[in-house]
Structure 1
Amino acid sequence: MLTEHFVASIAAPTKPNTGVTKDAGIFLHEYQPLAAQRHVFKKSASAPNGLAVSASHIFAAQEGKAVVHVYSREKGNQEAIVPFPERIHSIALACGDAVLLLGAESGRIMAWEVCTGRVVSTATSHLQPVTVLAVEPSSNFFLSGSPDAMIHVWNLPSILSFSLDASRSPIQTLSTHRGPITHIASGHSSTAANIAVSISEDMSALVWDYHNGQALRTYLLPDTPTAVTLDPADRAFFVAYADGSLQTLSFYDEMQQSTPVDVLREGSQSHRPLQPPPSTRFNAESQKLGAARSLSLTWDGTTLISGHESGKIAAWDVAKGTYLSTLASLPGPVTNLLFLPPTGFPLNAAEPTFKVHTVTKPRQDLVMPADGNALVPPNYGFNNVQFTGRLELPSCSATEMGRPEGRKSKFEEALTHTSFPLEMLEESLAELETWGQQQSGGASNVVPAVADFLSFAGAAEDTGAVQGDQGGKDELQELKEQFAALQRIQKVTFTQLSELREEKEYLLARERKRVQKKRMQQEKKEGGKEEGAMNGDGDGDVEMSEDEEEEEEEESLGSSGSDDGVGGSEEEDGTSSD
């Protein structure tokens, strides 16, 4: 059965007499098929954008503290309290729930690998605390926002790289807003055409092509926005306001819905601010919900839920723009709402390849060696991780050492592309320079991998040439000879298998002909008896002697054997079989 849950967190409780445990701070609710509260995690008070939920854990940055609480979803209890050197104002999960991004008070961002304990820090790029973090679906990029009205775009693989020369600075800066950034929502595409929506206290919402640093659309809002979320198909976004109302902002009007163009990237509307019509705004004043603090959307995009200052969680019909019901009433302001991926899909649905049983706290011993030769620390490794799915590894054939058909490397894809990536050219030039340094200085014996499309023998020969070691060359030559001997044995084996297959087919054909011949003789004999009985001649069949039958059978099988190209007599067949 398809089941959908959402997680809500509150700030410091403001209602002492609500029948809920005083120190309860995170609530797991089932939305469908039966709306009910399923679990409560205690001792937490998280600020907006301070909650992250993975398949195995819940992370909550404590408001005004330099502490992150970690809860185990499997055990249903608090697993760890992780301290940091400064206060944490926002968190977000990336890389398949293996990396937790933390926005710090100093304006920098820390990346914590929960499986290894490694912590990497970026440069201090924001002038004020990082209060918003949004990760795109591919985890290649993420965006950060701050009260300094700046939005930075970061390259996550570069931040997590072990290279000493890797850049840990923003690759783009989006500075159109004139007030503190309150929330950022990333689109659902993993391509370079993905978008992001940001809202600010300057009462504006901007749609970004963050890869190019271009503002695609500007909306002038009627009130101060507090939260934003995107439609699952990126057709519209929804904004929550400080007065408790919500609004739908569609990228397509009635005219644009019938026009097959990319309306967001039309030059005519990229610099013209738009003001959404008042009819798209809706609220429920009779419910006394209070200011909206958080917003989330169901998996199918039909129902919107909002968390309010009063502690109520309200459900809204997206199509009609009407209030549906109050799902829960919590003992404090609802600062975070997160819908979890639905469960109950068929068995062929994609499953995670690993499971984190216990998080590894940040380790200070994961430092680079003093000599600087190795990039990966010697004590770096995965802890408390279980592989649950099949790893995607390239298959290897016994007869073909190349890549399977239809599978190309990044280099081959770049060769067939309309333009060659500039980053790959720069990396190749830098790699050539390191080759020259290694060959002259001899400080490192690590040789970079050559192009994927080179053969095994060619790659081994190039590697031996770069190393310049005579003993290595001899060893490579011996390996080549062994490989050639294995190929010869394989060829002979395949030939023998082919001959045995042909012999098997010939023997089966003989047996089928013998059975068919015997059946025909039996039918002929029975037919002769019936005819003789009708004519009154007694036995009407003509019996053949055993010698005649064997002679006729040998002639038919001999002709069949000559057609198959194996042999024409039983003696030759016996020899072939032996």
Structure 2
Amino acid sequence: MEISVTGLSSIDNGIGSWDLKTGTEQLRFKQCASPAHGLTAVGDKFLAASQLRNASGSSGSIFFWSWNKPQAEVKSFPLESITALAANMEGTYIVGGGASGDIFLWEVSSGKLLKKWHGHDQSVTCLLFSGDDSLLVSGSKDGYVRVWSLIRLFDDIQRQQQGSTFYEHDFNEHTTSVTDIVIDYGGCNALLVTASEDCTCKVWSLSKGKLLRNIIFPAAINALALNSYKHHFSMLVIKIAKFISVP
């Protein structure tokens, strides 16, 4: 069964899951206060969502649900409020971005914090693994988009030599908060597409580390999607109030 999972607009409505074939709702995961990009599927194992607040008023928690139970089964409490959350395709790692700009990488099986580093000067708004899990892309409220090599992240000697600038690419063309990121990891033709509250959508070359195209819209872009012909600009689809084809 193919399932669509969506964080609903109202905090009181929680998370809904629907059968894509029939359109019927399968389950409602309640009591969720997740921010935008704070919800992720951890492989086919379970759902995880960062919580900006809870009943006691404290912050910094992450709730975990199995696919067939509406109540959160596990709750964890990171060092700070997590504003963005993502898992790799296999569900072996979860990465969270904090309000401070710090990024945390946990091992799912043990729950161990493997790495923590300062990724941005303002809160992290988006996180995304590449298709082969070799790269992590982060977006921030400061408008910056940074590409991190997971191999280099675990190379402590190289990190010490490079200081704080150990990212692969540092894209700083957006003027306000980054709202979404999509990636087509196609080897030498790999593309990164970013959206921002500055009403632009930008297409980047991951291999060359440069801006390929800047698309200006009359409203801020909140969500992005690439169709099956990912690398074709003519087939790029942006979700605003309705679908708009980009020529």
Determine which structure has the larger strand proportion and give its number.
2
Determine the C-alpha separation between the residues in 2 that align with 1:47 and 1:100.
16
Match of 2:202 among 206, 211, 215: 206
Determine the C-alpha separation between the residues in 2 that align with 1:165 and 1:118.
22
Deviation, 1:197, is 0.6
Q: Which amino acid aligns with 1:27?
A: G
Deviation, 1:52, is 0.3
Determine the C-alpha separation between the residues in 2 that align with 1:212 and 1:190.
13
Q: Which amino acid aligns with 2:52?
A: E
Deviation, 1:58, is 0.1
Match of 2:225 among 203, 222, 229: 229
Q: Does residue 45 in structure 1 map to residue 33 in structure 2? A: yes
For residues 153-164 of structure 1, the aligned pairs below 5 Å read 153-159=147-153, 161=154, 163-164=155-156
Aligned to 1:105: 99
Cα 1:36/1:85, change in 2 over 3 Å: same
Aligned to 1:10: 8
Deviation, 1:192, is 3.3
Aligned to 1:431: none
Contact 2:182 2:226 in 1 (8 A): yes
Q: Does residue 133 in structure 1 map to residue 107 in structure 2? A: no
Q: Does residue 36 in structure 1 map to residue 35 in structure 2? A: no
Determine the C-alpha separation between the residues in 2 that align with 1:55 and 1:205.
31
Deviation, 1:184, is 0.9
For residues 170-209 of structure 1, the aligned pairs below 5 Å read 170-187=167-184, 189-209=185-205
Aligned to 1:239: 238
Deviation, 1:82, is 0.8
Determine the C-alpha separation between the residues in 2 that align with 1:107 and 1:214.
23
Aligned to 2:16: 27
Deviation, 1:138, is 0.6
Cα 1:217/1:164, change in 2 over 3 Å: closer
Q: 3-state SS of the aligned residue for 2:151? A: helix
Deviation, 1:99, is 0.4
Deviation digits for residues 491-546 of structure 1, max 9, x if unmatched? xxxxxxxxxxxxxxxxxxxxxxxxxxxxxxxxxxxxxxxxxxxxxxxxxxxxxxxx
Contact 1:103 1:130 in 2 (8 A): yes
Aligned to 2:138: 144
Q: TM-score by structure 2 length?
A: 0.87
Determine the C-alpha separation between the residues in 2 that align with 1:218 and 1:122.
32
Q: 3-state SS of the aligned residue for 2:174? A: coil
Aligned to 1:385: none
Determine the C-alpha separation between the residues in 2 that align with 1:84 and 1:108.
12
Determine the C-alpha separation between the residues in 2 that align with 1:117 and 1:38.
28
Q: Which amino acid aligns with 1:224?
A: A
Cα 1:175/1:209, change in 2 over 3 Å: same
Aligned to 1:82: 76
Determine the C-alpha separation between the residues in 2 that align with 1:207 and 1:164.
31
Determine the C-alpha separation between the residues in 2 that align with 1:122 and 1:166.
16
Determine the C-alpha separation between the residues in 2 that align with 1:29 and 1:128.
35
For residues 84-483 of structure 1, the aligned pairs below 5 Å read 84-94=78-88, 96-159=90-153, 161=154, 163-167=155-159, 169-187=166-184, 189-234=185-230, 235=232, 236-241=235-240, 244-250=241-247
Cα 1:52/1:133, change in 2 over 3 Å: same
Q: Which amino acid aligns with 2:171?
A: L
Q: 3-state SS of the aligned residue for 1:192? A: helix
Deviation digits for residues 391-442 of structure 1, max 9, x if unmatched? xxxxxxxxxxxxxxxxxxxxxxxxxxxxxxxxxxxxxxxxxxxxxxxxxxxx
Determine the C-alpha separation between the residues in 2 that align with 1:121 and 1:199.
27
Contact 2:149 2:167 in 1 (8 A): yes
Q: 3-state SS of the aligned residue for 1:157? A: helix
Q: Which amino acid aligns with 1:43?
A: Q
Determine the C-alpha separation between the residues in 2 that align with 1:74 and 1:166.
44
Determine the C-alpha separation between the residues in 2 that align with 1:56 and 1:95.
11
**Structure 2 regions of 5+ residues with no counterpart?**
54-58
Q: Which amino acid aligns with 1:58?
A: L
Determine the C-alpha separation between the residues in 2 that align with 1:92 and 1:206.
21
Determine the C-alpha separation between the residues in 1 that align with 2:52 and 2:207.
32
Number of residues of Structure 1 aligned to a counterpart in Structure 2: 233
Q: 3-state SS of the aligned residue for 1:47? A: coil
Superposition CA RMSD, Å: 1.9
Deviation, 1:215, is 0.8
Contact 1:172 1:213 in 2 (8 A): yes
Determine the C-alpha separation between the residues in 2 that align with 1:245 and 1:29.
21
Q: Which amino acid aligns with 1:26?
A: I
Q: 3-state SS of the aligned residue for 1:225? A: coil
Contact 2:27 2:68 in 1 (8 A): no
Determine which structure has the larger helix proportion and give its number.
1
**Higher-Rg member (1/2):** 1
Aligned to 2:49: 60
Deviation, 1:11, is 4.6
Deviation, 1:166, is 4.8
Q: TM-score by structure 1 length?
A: 0.39
